[in-house]
Structures are given as structure tokens and as C-alpha cells.
Amino acid sequence: MVRVMARRTMSHRILTCDKSEIVTFSGDPTSINISDTIFGFLNYESLKSIRLDFCDENENDDDDDEEKDESENVEDNQFWETQHQLLQSVLYRTTSLESQIRSITKEAIKEGNGIICSCRRTPDDGCKTCLMKEVCSRLQIAGFNSAICKSKWKNSLDIPSGEHTFIDVIDSSNPKKGELRVIIELNFRAEFEMARGCEEYNRLVKNLSEVFIGKIERLLSLIKILCAAAKKCMKDKKMHIGPWRKQKYMQAKWLKTRERVEAAKLTGQVF
């Protein structure tokens, strides 16, 4: 027996995703509410499952964001804690040579405050040049090979040109150790202060003494710690870090020495 099947138009049937016919209807196709028709085949449990899956996905996204934030906070805390520990370990190390130089320097600074110098300004008014001359002279009298140094460097791809003036002491008393160089920076803390520094960075810088007295190795360690902190600070604030804050620039201040004038020859010198 031959079965005859009536042909239906697309407007009179609905197909599933596997193209099998599941519903037929007659009448005006525009009267069909497609959303009602589709969701009519979904039972309550299916709708509930879809809703729960959707909510779970959103909750998982929120959890991922919270975990990411917590992870970043932990990393930030670990970074600053590490920098503080490294800084303290470097600051508290000292040698007998550094201690002797530090004692003479502090005494010279203390006695020099308030004294009117040749340029008619007191050290409190910012006469760094005259104060450096006084410190250098005191060290020379105490038997140290002390001098005022002027570093100068040219512009490069990494850093701009610049110059800096400070004091150093060259010690050759121990032939086995060779020549040792001790740097004296009378305005050390200010060299690393930033107007837009974050709270953690500013707290780190406050641990620095105003006057630095130490060997080159100690100075380089401090520069590395503080410049890494400055870079992290600016990155977190989404701000560009100036080239004068970079490690190479800070190193150039005390390493690129071009001129060294001993205390006995300081009269009339202008820096």
C-alpha cells in the first residue's frame, strides 16, 4: 500500500537542531509566538538547570576576579616586605673604616651648622658646597685621602646627560684588600624622594639616613633596591618613570667621576 504524505511548507512546521520535524500547525504563521513554542518544550527542571549554570558561570567569574586581586595583593605585599628586609640588611652592615669616617663627618656637619661661610650663607640655607669643603677638610686633617668629586656623563639612549658633586675617601692602608673607595653623600635621602611616590615607597625612603657613608658595593646595593621599588611604584600607579629615576642614571652620579679635588686645593674652587 502506498502511503501518501502531504507536503507542508516551512511556515507550517518547526524543525529541531537535527532537522527532524516535531510540530506541525495550520493557520496564520504570524500568530505563532516562537519563544513560547521553543520554551514550551523545556520542562521546569531544564530551565532550572540553565539558570543555575548561568549563575554558576557568573559566580565563577567573580571568584576568579577576587582570587586574582588577592593574588596580586599578596605579591605586592611580598615585594615591599622583601625590599624593606634587603634595605635594612644593607644599612646595618658597616666596617671600622666607614665608622671612623662617619664619626668625623657627623662632627663636621654638627659644628658647621649655623656658621657663616665664605659665600655668606649658612649650611641650613642650602650651602652644600661649603659644607662639603668643611667635611672634606676635616677628613684630610684626620689623615684620610679625601676629595670633592664631580661626576659628569653624556646623553645616551638610556639616560640623559647630567652631573653630580659628592665626597669620597680613598683608603690604601691594607695592601691585601687593595684600594678601597668610600662615598660620602650629604643629601642621600633627597636623591630618592619622589613627589608622587606611593605610601610603601615613601616609607622605604624614610628608612634612609640623610647622609650616606659607605663603600661602593653598599651604595650599588642600595641603588638597586630603591630603583626597583621606584619602578614598581610607578608601574602600579600606571605612570611613566622618568629616566633620572632609573638605576643607570643613579649609578652614574657616583661612578662617572671626571674630577677629584683634594681638600688642600679647595680654596677658591666653585662646584
Q: What is the pLDDT of residues 59-74, one digit of tens each?
A: 555 555 555 555 567 7
Q: Report the C-alpha gap between 250 and 191 in whole angstroms.
A: 9
0.85 cut: is pTM over it?
no
Question: Across-strand partners of 166?
Answer: 149
Q: Is the pLDDT of residue 7 over 70?
A: no
Position 128 scores a pLDDT of 82
Interstrand relation of 145-153 and 162-171 (parallel, antiparallel or unpaired): antiparallel
Position 67 scores a pLDDT of 54
> How far is Cα of residue 34 from the mean position of the Cα atoms in its chain?
59
Mean pLDDT of 85-96: 93
pLDDT in tens, 151-189: 999 998 888 999 999 999 999 988 888 899 999 999 999
Q: Report the C-alpha gap between 194 and 250 in whole angstroms.
A: 14
Q: Using 50, 70 and 90 to split pLDDT, how confident is the model at 242?
A: confident
Average pLDDT over the chain, rounded to whole? 78
pLDDT in tens, 142-156: 999 999 999 999 998
User: What percent of the chain is modeled with pLDDT above 70?
Assistant: 65
